[in-house]
Structure 1
Amino acid sequence: MLFARLTRAAIVASLAFAVPTIGAAEIFKGETAGVGDPVHTMFVTFTNQAAKADIQIQVNAGQTLTKSMLKGAKGEIDFFSTVPSLVNLMAGQKRMYEKVDGAPEFAKNIRSILGFKAGAYHPVTLSGSGIENWEDLKGKTVFTGPPAGSASATSEALIKIITGYVAGEDYQAVRLSWGEGYAALADGKIDMMVRPAEIGSANIERFGLSGEFRVLSIPEEKVGDAEMQALFGRPGRGMLSFDGDVYKGQLTSGDITALGFTQFIGTHADVSDDVVYGATKAFWENLDDVHATAFFLKDVTPETAFTSVNVPLHPGAVRYYEEAGIAIPDELRSGS
């Protein structure tokens, strides 16, 4: 599935509409990824709009999304950023949730508010690294993601589908925090970094400010492979194409084909319907402000509200979407 073709565009801010105030007496807990991540940008934008309805969400940033979703499912926090594929892992008590007692039951408590196209996996290597195509990864050191997250497994699966290379055998896979991964590439301690980021990311762009770098594109002949199509078809994944010129100093010419990823903003079933309704309403009725916040958020529209969402909507969100005349997929109504 092709998400979108993205190029540079100007974004113009406009005044927000006033939203009725509710829930001002309580401060809600929220968790998201680190500063500079598109997930963080979207979540903070959501909380900023919610504040216009006097719904105060205290944001704890720099968190691992696998853990945040579990805390949300347990009701320990109220709002969180998460990855659609993690829902199935929790429901099936697999991988990072294998030893979590009651994980399948916790998963049933998760509710969604809205989904969005977050960006693409960027396989980034600096000029002079000796890497100009995927086959050049043989014997190299590659940062694939944090130890406890799902991104590292996805990055390693992408490399294996394209090259047949196995992490730990054909190349050295390094798992660090996101910030450490950026620093390791900049310092020449690793040869490539695979980083999920929004298109036009300032964190990726910075490698072109003092030199040149390359974002590897998925080879055209691999796009149709059954394994690649299966990877594109996983919850929260898809194929995305963007113009390589969006980044200064980027060496891959023409369009770059990448593994796209989506996220959703979640909550849990016990959060008040009025609170979720007010936050959802404030977000969508201040959409101009949302679009003005970041380049990639211009693609957030009512038509994309349920992108890759694979858990029921919170009843408060359902209430807003119904009032706004936004069609809700039947499978997302079961939680209301």
Structure 2
Amino acid sequence: MVKTLMKTTALALVAGLVGGTAGAQVNLTIATASPGSVVYLTTAHLAAVASERGIANLQIAEGQTLTNTVLDVAEGRMDISEAPMILPFLLSRGMGPYSAQGEAGAALASNLRALYPYNAGGFFVFTMASSGVTSWDDLAGRTVFNGPPRGAALTNARQAIQLAAGLEDGPGYTGLQANWGQLNSMLLDGSADAYVFPTVHPSDRVILMESAGDVNIISTPREIFESEAYQRIFNMPGNIPIELPFSEAGYDEHVHLLGSDDGIMRALGTAFATVVNANMDYQLAYDLTAAHIETLEQFRNSAPMAANAGHGIVDQRLSGFCGANQLRYHPGAVAAWQDRGFDIPDCAEPQN
């Protein structure tokens, strides 16, 4: 499947970067987030191994608005996109950023298929140790960065704060919104008392904060995380539980975990998948997925955060499939996973 990528400001031909592409069979377009994120890292790895194996040359459009590129894949204008799993659900309902699609959104969403899942991290509180914020309750009356002005990150950050501390943006604390590109400077200039955003650990942003002093990462307390009210949020498409031993987070002695009685970091997490159009050739989907699976160890060794992003986990609850989430795997992807000993949930397999 060869298509031309339209309306992109950041197009990179990965084949020219990694070399060894003479045997590649097709050219494919793929959209991803900005460099430095685990989302981009996932894309870059697939591009490299697909080229090395002669499967395809992947042209990467980086720094994209995934809301738009998921729609591009559904409509056949792009081959592959990284996707927060909430987006196929919203498209299927014609809701939020897809309200213009209305009832047609259901048919468009049915065109999407997943190759493999992963996650973009959990929502923790990040704060300088000198701030005096040592719990979610301490966010009361404070200025808290909670994401960009619009989008799933802001909604989930507000939700995480309300469930953990009973505080609403406005009456409970002053929410501060800014684009992701502004966050790095804000982490150091004192714009906010605390920050709530999704991240995979170890996070470059936490390490950046360390340059100004010791940093506290505040976990969702276990009694709250395990409560019935909190567990209900994992029934919503795109939400998954994140539980990670702090000893595996990769930080030095200047980063401290608070809010956990057993050394486990707990948070509301954001499920992602690499999605393609349902019409992608079966063998191509199989080969791309197989390349991903067979190089998981290589990927996990490619960057410190890569080991903690859930690649290779296809468990229904931990990957975010099924329930109200109608996204299903591509048949070629299912076969690739099953041929390598993984069990794909029946509810995540394609119906036709």
Normalising by the smaller structure, the TM-score range is 0.7 to 0.9
Name the counterpart of 1:237: 240
Q: In the alignment, which of 280, 283, 308 is matched to residue 274 of structure 1?
A: 283
Q: Which residue identity does 1:196 align to in structure 2?
A: P
Mark the CA change 1:327 to 1:158 in structure 2 (over 3 Å): closer, same or farther: closer
Mark the CA change 1:289 to 1:84 in structure 2 (over 3 Å): closer, same or farther: same
Name the counterpart of 1:14: none
Name the counterpart of 1:35: 35
TM-score (norm 1): 0.84
Q: In the alignment, which of 258, 264, 268 is matched to residue 273 of structure 2?
A: 264
| Contact map agreement 2:114 2:274 (CA 8 A) in 1 | yes
| Contact map agreement 1:65 1:149 (CA 8 A) in 2 | no
Q: What secondary structure, in the 3-state scheme, does the structure 1 residue paired with 2:82 have?
A: strand
| 1:234-274 superposed Cα distances (whole Å, 9 cap, x missing partner) | 33411413317732322335443222333111111122223
- Superposed, 1:138-149 pairs within 5 Å as 138-149=140-151
- The count of aligned residue pairs is 317
| 1:74-133 superposed Cα distances (whole Å, 9 cap, x missing partner) | 222211111222222221222222233422221111100011244322321123333222
| Contact map agreement 1:30 1:57 (CA 8 A) in 2 | yes
Mark the CA change 1:180 to 1:325 in structure 2 (over 3 Å): closer, same or farther: same
Mark the CA change 1:72 to 1:146 in structure 2 (over 3 Å): closer, same or farther: farther
**Higher RCO (CA-CA < 8 Å; seq separation 6+):** 1
- Superposed, 1:179-190 pairs within 5 Å as 179-190=181-192
2:195 paired with 1:193:
yes
Q: What secondary structure, in the 3-state scheme, does the structure 1 residue paired with 2:67 have?
A: helix
Q: Which residue identity does 2:31 align to in structure 1?
A: E
Gaps of 5+ in 1: 1-17
- Superposed, 1:211-222 pairs within 5 Å as 211-222=213-224
Whole-Å separation in 1 of the counterparts to 2:346 and 2:330: 13
Whole-Å separation in 1 of the counterparts to 2:75 and 2:242: 33
Residue 136 of structure 1 and its aligned partner are, at CA, apart by 2.0
2:281 paired with 1:288:
no
Q: In the alignment, which of 147, 160, 163 is matched to residue 162 of structure 2?
A: 160
TM-score (norm 2): 0.80
More displaced, 300-309 or 233-242?
A: 300-309
Name the counterpart of 1:308: 320
Mark the CA change 1:73 to 1:296 in structure 2 (over 3 Å): closer, same or farther: same
Name the counterpart of 1:10: none
Whole-Å separation in 2 of the counterparts to 1:302 and 1:168: 40
Whole-Å separation in 1 of the counterparts to 2:88 and 2:338: 25
Name the counterpart of 1:66: 67
Whole-Å separation in 1 of the counterparts to 2:208 and 2:250: 12
Residue 335 of structure 1 and its aligned partner are, at CA, apart by 4.8
Whole-Å separation in 2 of the counterparts to 1:224 and 1:277: 37
- Superposed, 1:39-118 pairs within 5 Å as 39-54=39-54, 55-101=56-102, 102-118=104-120
More displaced, 238-247 or 300-309?
A: 300-309
| Contact map agreement 1:32 1:65 (CA 8 A) in 2 | yes
Whole-Å separation in 1 of the counterparts to 2:207 and 2:158: 23
Residue 141 of structure 1 and its aligned partner are, at CA, apart by 1.8
Q: Which residue identity does 2:244 align to in structure 1?
A: S
Name the counterpart of 1:9: none
Name the counterpart of 1:136: 138
Q: What secondary structure, in the 3-state scheme, does the structure 1 residue paired with 2:256 have?
A: coil
More displaced, 52-61 or 107-116?
A: 52-61
| Contact map agreement 1:66 1:148 (CA 8 A) in 2 | no
Gaps of 5+ in 2: 1-19
Whole-Å separation in 2 of the counterparts to 1:302 and 1:247: 24
Whole-Å separation in 1 of the counterparts to 2:212 and 2:195: 17
More displaced, 314-323 or 129-138?
A: 314-323
| 1:57-90 superposed Cα distances (whole Å, 9 cap, x missing partner) | 1111222332322222122221111122222222
Mark the CA change 1:190 to 1:303 in structure 2 (over 3 Å): closer, same or farther: closer
Whole-Å separation in 1 of the counterparts to 2:53 and 2:284: 9
Name the counterpart of 1:13: none
Q: In the alignment, which of 308, 329, 333 is matched to residue 345 of structure 2?
A: 329
More displaced, 117-126 or 35-44?
A: 117-126
Percent identity over the alignment is 25
